[in-house]
């Protein structure tokens, strides 16, 4: 369990990584979709 918690990503970091990947690849539309999914699934509001 210690190994798991040593490498665990913070909440929402997986979505951020995927959105950043799409941004780097030039697919802004997909990045927006992943960011929206993150906000919805983590019950966050955009400001």
Q: What is the pTM of this model?
A: 0.75
Report residue 6's pLDDT band, with 50, 70 and 90 as the boundaries.
confident
What integer best gives the mean pLDDT of the chain?
91
* Token pair 């019950």 in the structure block, residue: 43
- Quick check: 22 and 30 in contact, CB under 8 A? yes
Report residue 46's pLDDT band, with 50, 70 and 90 as the boundaries.
low
**Interior/surface letters 19-46, b for 16+ CB within 10 angstroms, e for the rest:** beebeeeeeeeebeebbeebeeeeeeee
Q: What is the pLDDT of residues 9-20, one digit of tens each?
A: 899 999 999 999
């Amino acid at each position: 369990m210690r190994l798991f918690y040593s490498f665990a990503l913070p909440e929402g970091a997986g979505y951020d990584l995927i959105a950043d990947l799409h941004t780097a690849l030039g697919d802004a539309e997909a990045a927006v979709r992943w960011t929206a999914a993150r906000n919805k699934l983590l019950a966050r509001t955009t400001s």
